[in-house]
Amino acid sequence: MKKLIFALFMVSMPHIALAESAWVLWQNTEIEDHYFWKILDAYPLYKDCQNSREKVWKAQEKLWKSEDTIAFPFTVMRRDKEGLHTADKYLCLPDTVNPNLFERRRD
């Protein structure tokens, strides 16, 4: 249920953010069951953040092109030489939202 609420929150984000909010481009790296969030940049407009997100994702997708890499929109999943699974996701969130505060749990 928490996952559904979080997903609905993320989808509605552009509509509920205040006009004066800045937009932050986040990179979420998942290594096995560990999650790391990193700020890549900030923008005054959501559109600018989305454009940058697309550029970053496309650059990463090209960098990791291999048979052990799968790319989805704004997500790149790969397996390294040791078999460790890693996924990078790119999100634009209002500056009032810190994804580090969301607890991620596997059921």
Q: Where are the domains of the chain?
A: 2-101
- Provide the whole-model pTM: 0.69
Q: What is the pLDDT along the chain (107 residues), one digit of tens a residue?
A: 444 444 445 555 554 445 568 999 999 988 887 889 999 999 999 999 999 999 988 887 776 666 677 767 777 777 777 777 888 889 999 999 998 887 555 44
Rounded (10°) CA dihedral 72, 33, 97, 2: 90
Q: Which amino acid is at 32?
A: E
Rounded to a whole number of angstroms, the distance between the first and last alpha carbons of the chain is: 11
